C-alpha cells in the first residue's frame, strides 16, 4: 500500500473515530421489541441459516448480553433523544432506556443474533444491551462534511459481521458492484476496497482473483448484475466458481439460463419490476426446482407454505394470492442461482465435446464463445437471405448441442454421479436393459458426419473412410419406473446419476424433444429436457400461437455445402440491450432480458434471439 493511500485511510479512520466518540451516549438495557432493523438486500437474500446456528449456540451457552462485542448499535435522532427515548437509572449494572411504546430504535447490526435471542429467551427476560449513538437529523441543514461523516459512520456500523458468519458471496458481490457505481449508488472506492478485502478473509482464497477475472467479461457481468434486482436469489451465489463460468466460453447458453431465471420471477410478480426487490431468500429456497403444475406433491407443499405465510411474506395479501395463481401454473423446474451453479456442472459435459471442434486463440482477449467458434466452421450459402441463414444456423447449432448432451458422457472422460451406498441393488435393476453403444471413436465419427451433413467443416485429421457402427434406436423409458414416484427435489439439478442413463439418452433424442406432450410427474427425462431448454431455448423457434419455444422444423438443406467460407460474414461484436419495463399481464415469454452475444454480421441484427424460458 502506498504511503498516500495509508495516509488517506488514517485520516478517514480518525474522523470516524472522533465522530463515534462524540455521538456515543451510553450503553443501556432495552426490550427486544423496541429494536427495528432495516429491510434491505442483506436481509432479503438471507435464508436464515445463521439464525438457526446462533439459536443452537445460545441454547448451549446462554446469551452473553453484557459483553461489548454483543452490544447492538442503535442510532437516535437528536430531536428524539430525551423526548421519545430517555435514559433511566436503576439498580442494574447497566441503566435502562425508557422508550415510547410506538417508537422503534433503529438497530444497525447483530440482526441475526437478536432474531435468535427472540426465539430463545423466556418471555419475561426479553432484553438486550444497546450502544446508543445520537445523530443529527438526516433532513436537517448540515454541512456536506457532516453528512459524509454521519453516512460513513452509519455504514461502518451497518456492515460489521462480528456475530455473523463471514459475509456471503452474494452480499459481497452486491456491495462491490454498488460501491463501484455499477448499480444505482455513487462510487465509494474505500468502501469497495473493504468488500474486496472480505474476499481475502480466508487464507488461500482466490475469490478476489476469480471475481476480477469475471468482471473482465463485461457482457456476462451485465447479465448477472441484472439479477441483483431479486435479492432472494443471491444466497446461491458462488464467487469461487465464476472463473469456471468464464472459462467455459458458453456466454450465450449461460445468459439464456440467467434470462430464464429473470423471466420466471418477473412473471410471478405480474411483470411489475418494482416488486422483485421483495422476493426473499427463504421463498427462493423453498420454490427452486419445484414444478407445481406437474407434481401434485410440489403443489401441495407450496400451497401449505403459502397458507402459513412463509412464501413471499413481504407482499400484501392480494398480491400473494395473484402470485400463487401464477406459481401453480409453472410446469418446469423453477430456476435460481443455486440451480444454475449446479446445472453448470452438467453443461461442462457437452461443452467438453463442442470445444474440441475448433482451435481457440491463445491470447485470452482473443478467445471466442463456442457458438462463435463453431460458426466459423460453417460454410454459409451466400445465395440465402439473412433470415434464412440465421434460422438454419440456429437449427444446426441446436442439433450439435443436443447430440453433445445426449452422448457427452460417452464422448469425454466426464462421469455421472455415483449412487449413495445402499442403492446398488436398485441401480443394477435399472441397468438390466441398458443399450450397448458403439465405442467412443465411432460416436465421434458419427458426430462428425452429422456436422458435415449440416455444412460444417471438420478437423482435417479425422478419418471418415471407415463407416461408423450403426447407432441403436433409443428405447422409450423413464426413471423412476414406478409411476407413483418422482425424482427428489434435491436431485433435480446438476449432473445426473448412473441409474438414469437410458432414460436420459431417450429424453435427449431429437424425436423425444420434438414431442409436445404434457408431463404428469417429475422424472429424470423431464429434468434432462428442462435443463437443455433452460440453456438453449435461444436457439429454438418461437411459436406465436402457443407462446412457447419449440424445436425448429427441419429444412431441405442437410447435404454438405461446397461454397467457400466467407470470413466477412463473421463478427465478434457483443450485442447487449437494457432490461426495459414490461406491461402487467404479459406472458412468460414477453419479459425482456439482455440478449446473448451476437455473432451474425449485422451490428444491429444478432443471429441469436433473446433468451427466453419455455413454458
pLDDT tens for 124-156 read 899 999 999 988 866 555 455 556 677 777 777
Q: pLDDT, tens digit, for every residue of 401-435? A: 999 999 999 999 999 998 876 654 444 444 444 55
pLDDT of res. 427: 45
Q: pLDDT band for position 552 (50/70/90)? A: low
Cα–Cα distances in angstroms (integers) from residue 219 to residues 183, 251, 256, 264, in the given order: 15, 8, 12, 21
Task: Report CA-CA distances (Å) from 68 to 54, 100, 561.
Answer: 17, 25, 77
Q: Are 30 and 130 in contact (CB under 8 A)?
A: yes
Buried b (16+ CB within 10 A) or exposed e, 557-594: eeeebeeeeeeebbbeebbbeebeebeeeeebbebbbb
Query: What is the SS3 assignment for 275-312?
Result: HHHHCCHHHHHHHCCCCCCCCHHHHHHHHHHHHCCCCC
Average predicted confidence (pLDDT) for the chain = 81
Q: Distance between CA atoms of 369 and 252, rounded to whole angstroms?
A: 8
CA–CA dist 229, 233 (Å, integer)? 9
Asked whether residue 163 carries a pLDDT value surpassing 70, the answer given is: no
Do residues 323 and 283 touch, judged by C-beta distance below 8 A?
no
Average pLDDT over every residue of 72-91 = 87
63-72, 238-247, 289-298, 494-503: least confident range: 63-72
Q: What angle do CA 508, 514, 518 make, to 5 degrees?
A: 95
Burial 477-487 (b: 16+ CB within 10 A, else e): bbbbeeeeebb
Predicted confidence band of residue 586 (pLDDT cuts 50, 70, 90): very low
pLDDT of residue 296: 97
Contacts of 412 (CB under 8 A, 6+ apart): 349, 352, 353
Place 213 in a pLDDT band, splitting at 50, 70 and 90: very high
- Under 8 Å between Cβ of 127 and 31: yes
Angle, in degrees to the nearest 10, between helices 386-411 and 440-453: 180
Contact criterion met (CB below 8 Å) for 409 and 400: no
Cα dihedral 351/354/360/363 (nearest 10): -10
DSSP annotation of 497 reads B
**Cα(492)–Cα(80) distance, integer angstroms:** 53
313-341 in b/e form (b: 16+ CB < 10 A) is: ebbeeebbeebbeebeebbbbbbbbbbbb
Weakest-pLDDT range from 6-15, 144-153, 270-279, 352-361: 144-153
> Whole-angstrom Cα distance, residue 327 to residue 322?
9
Report the alpha-carbon distance of residue 257 to residue 534 in Å, rounded. Answer: 5
Q: Quick one: pLDDT at residue 64?
A: 86
Amino acid at each position: 500500500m502506498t504511503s498516500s493511500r495509508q495516509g488517506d485511510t488514517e485520516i478517514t479512520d480518525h474522523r470516524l473515530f472522533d465522530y463515534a466518540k462524540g455521538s456515543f451516549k451510553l450503553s443501556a438495557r432495552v426490550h427486544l421489541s423496541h429494536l427495528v432493523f432495516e429491510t434491505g438486500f442483506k436481509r432479503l437474500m438471507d435464508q436464515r441459516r445463521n439464525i438457526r446456528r446462533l439459536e443452537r449456540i445460545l441454547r448451549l451457552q446462554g446469551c452473553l448480553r453484557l459483553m461489548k462485542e454483543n452490544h447492538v448499535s442503535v442510532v437516535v435522532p437528536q430531536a428524539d433523544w430525551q423526548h421519545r427515548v430517555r435514559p433511566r437509572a436503576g439498580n442494574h449494572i447497566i441503566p435502562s432506556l425508557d422508550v415510547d411504546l410506538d417508537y422503534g430504535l433503529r438497530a444497525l447490526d447483530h440482526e441475526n443474533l437478536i432474531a435468535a435471542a427472540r426465539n430463545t429467551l423466556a418471555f419475561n427476560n426479553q432484553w438486550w444491551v444497546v450502544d446508543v449513538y445520537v445523530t443529527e437529523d438526516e433532513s436537517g441543514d448540515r454541512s456536506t462534511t457532516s453528512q459524509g461523516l454521519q453516512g460513513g459512520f452509519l455504514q461502518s456500523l451497518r456492515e460489521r459481521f462480528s456475530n455473523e458468519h463471514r459475509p456471503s458471496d452474494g452480499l459481497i458481490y452486491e456491495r462491490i458492484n454498488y460501491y463501484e457505481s455499477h448499480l444505482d449508488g455513487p462510487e465509494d472506492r474505500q468502501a469497495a476496497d473493504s468488500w474486496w478485502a472480505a474476499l481475502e478473509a480466508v487464507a488461500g482464497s482466490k475469490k478476489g482473483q476469480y471475481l476480477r477475472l469475471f468482471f473482465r467479461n463485461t457482457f456476462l457481468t451485465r447479465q448477472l448484475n441484472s439479477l441483483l434486482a431479486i435479492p432472494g436469489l443471491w444466497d446461491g451465489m458462488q464467487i469461487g466458481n465464476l472463473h469456471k463460468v468464464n472459462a467455459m466460453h458458453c456466454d450465450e447458453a449461460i445468459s439464456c439460463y440467467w434470462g430464464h431465471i429473470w423471466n420466471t420471477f418477473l412473471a410471478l410478480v405480474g411483470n411489475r419490476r418494482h416488486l422483485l426487490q421483495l422476493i426473499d431468500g427463504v421463498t427462493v429456497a423453498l420454490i427452486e426446482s419445484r414444478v407445481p403444475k406437474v407434481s401434485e406433491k410440489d403443489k401441495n407443499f407450496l400451497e401449505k407454505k403459502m397458507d402459513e405465510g412463509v412464501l413471499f411474506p413481504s407482499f400484501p395479501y392480494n398480491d400473494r394470492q395473484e402470485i400463487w395463481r401464477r406459481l401453480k401454473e409453472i410446469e418446469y423446474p423453477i430456476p435460481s442461482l443455486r440451480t444454475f451453479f449446479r446445472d453448470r456442472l452438467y453443461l461442462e459435459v457437452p461443452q467438453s465435446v463442442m470445444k474440441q471442434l475448433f482451435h481457440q486463440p491463445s491470447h485470452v482477449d482473443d478467445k471466442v464463445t463456442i457458438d462463435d467458434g463453431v460458426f466459423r466452421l460453417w460454410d454459409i450459402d451466400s445465395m440465402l437471405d439473412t433470415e434464412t441463414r440465421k434460422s438454419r444456423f440456429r437449427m444446426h447449432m441446436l442439433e450439435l448441442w443436443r447430440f453433445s448432451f445426449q452422448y457427452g458422457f460417452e464422448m469425454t472422460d466426464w462421469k455421472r454421479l455415483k449412487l449413495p451406498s445402499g442403492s446398488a441393488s436398485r441401480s443394477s435393476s435399472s441397468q438390466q436393459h441398458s443399450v450397448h453403444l458403439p465405442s467412443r471413436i465411432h460416436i465421434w465419427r458419427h458426430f462428425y458426419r452429422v456436422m458435415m451433413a449440416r455444412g460444417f467443416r471438420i478437423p482435417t485429421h479425422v478419418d471418415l473412410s471407415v463407416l461408423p457402427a450403426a447407432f441403436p434406436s433409443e428405447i422409450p423409458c423413464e426413471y423412476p419406473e414406478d409411476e407413483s414416484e418422482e425424482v427428489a427435489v434435491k436431485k433435480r439439478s446438476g449432473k445426473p446419476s448412473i441409474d438414469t442413463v437410458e432414460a436420459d439418452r431417450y429424453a435427449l433424442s431429437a424425436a423425444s424433444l420434438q414431442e409436445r406432450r404434457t408431463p404428469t410427474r417429475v422424472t429424470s427425462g423431464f429434468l434432462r429436457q428442462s435443463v437443455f431448454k433452460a440453456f438453449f431455448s435461444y436457439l429454438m423457434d418461437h411459436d406465436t400461437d402457443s407462446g412457447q419455444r419449440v424445436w425448429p422444423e427441419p429444412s431441405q438443406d442437410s447435404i454438405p455445402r461446397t461454397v467457400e467460407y466467407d470470413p466477412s460474414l463473421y463478427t465478434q461484436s457483443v450485442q447487449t440491450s437494457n432490461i426495459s419495463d414490461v406491461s402487467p399481464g404479459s406472458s412468460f415469454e414477453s419479459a425482456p432480458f439482455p440478449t446473448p452475444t451476437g455473432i451474425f454480421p449485422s451490428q444491429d441484427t444478432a443471429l441469436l434471439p433473446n433468451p427466453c424460458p419455455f413454458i
